[in-house]
Amino acid sequence: MSQKPGVLVTRKLPQAVEERLRRDYEPEFNAEDRLYPSEELLHRARGKAAIVACHTEHFTSEVIDRLPDTVRAITNFSVGVDHVDLSAAKSRGLIVTNTPDVLSDATAEIAMLLMLGAARRAGEGERLVRAAKWDSWSPAFMVGIQVTGKRLGVIGMGRVGQVTAERARGFEMEILYHNRSRLDPAAEKGARYYQALDQMLPECEFLSIHCPATAETRGLINAARIERLPDGAIVVNTARGAVVDDDALIAALESGKLAAAGLDVFNNEPDINPKYRKLENTFLLPHIGSATRETRDAMGFRALDNLDAILTGQEPRDRVA
């Protein structure tokens, strides 16, 4: 019997996923679930056929150039691949995959949670109760903004954006969207398409970000674009922190230009801009968009499906490089 291929698994994965890895491969697990520095990652990759990675590892061109020759693939346990220099991977002949489709429902749930939490001041209210500072009720107490019936602008009408729009329709929200290309009418389901983002923004009482972080979208939500939003709008981000200019968003929250923001992703996470923590009108979550048992299992199995294909000489379903 031939020896099973060695695989480096950079973070702790769901039990069922790790069991499948043990069955089919010779995996090196990260039992402590700690973030490997680049030098340690390179050392642990020696002799491995592939790396099962997460968005927490940064495969820069330098890291990719220094990977052992045995490594044929990086199969990501994530949809976003902005942590991998895809051009460097292609140049080296390294196969890179991701896990689309399987986390759309879970991430859309978090987008709706952020909308509701930011609009209804849920973070403030929860802190009041926990600190035993809730001591009265009045008609003016904890007044927020109603979500039902408002206009929601969606940036990036891919899988997650479309599911978020569908959930928002349950709140009778009017859907607007900006995307690289227009969807067919059946997929639009009555949503209004804006080819130019700047034309959509003035109509958005809520704005939900669902585009990937690319060279074109980094800092997309900057001071100029925030200024185009209606006064009192609410911004929600479940995509990537890099799409937002932190200084611009914080300034708009401090000034009252924006009523609130709901954020599950950040620049430089987990070491986020500390000003976010000081703002009462932010509803903050620690990047848990895909964090359900069902979704994390599905992500792991999708990553392993891609790994199986690569190491048996087949084309993986979710190849991005």
Say which residues have a Cβ less than 8 Å from residue 55's Cβ, sequence separation at least 6.
76, 78, 80, 82, 83
pLDDT score recorded for residue 91: 97
120 is catalytic: no
Amino acid at 68: P
pLDDT along the chain (321 residues), means of 10: 88 98 98 97 98 97 98 97 97 97 97 98 97 96 98 98 98 98 97 98 98 96 98 98 98 98 98 98 98 98 98 98 97
- Please state, in angstroms and rounded to a whole number, the distance separating the CA atoms of residues 98 and 227: 35
Q: Domain map of the chain by residue range?
A: 6-102+293-311, 104-284
Q: Does domain 6-102+293-311 have CATH number 3.40.50.720?
A: yes
pLDDT score recorded for residue 251: 98
Q: Which residues pair with 167 in a beta bridge?
A: none
pLDDT score recorded for residue 2: 57
Q: According to DSSP H, which parts of 201-259 are helical?
A: 223-228, 246-255
58-73: per-residue pLDDT in tens? 999 999 999 999 999 9
Say which residues have a Cβ less than 8 Å from residue 145's Cβ, sequence separation at least 6.
119, 120, 232, 234, 259, 260
269 is catalytic: yes
- Topology (CATH) of 104-284: Rossmann fold (3.40.50)
| Three-state secondary structure call for residue 7 | strand
* CA-based torsion, 250, 252, 256, 261: positive or negative: negative
Same CATH fold, 104-284 and 6-102+293-311?
A: yes
**Given 178, 240, 296, 302, the catalytic residue:** 240
- Please state, in angstroms and rounded to a whole number, the distance separating the CA atoms of residues 220 and 245: 7
127 is catalytic: no
**Given 120, 178, 287, 296, the catalytic residue:** 287
**Confidence (pTM):** 0.95
CB 163 within 8 A of CB 110: no
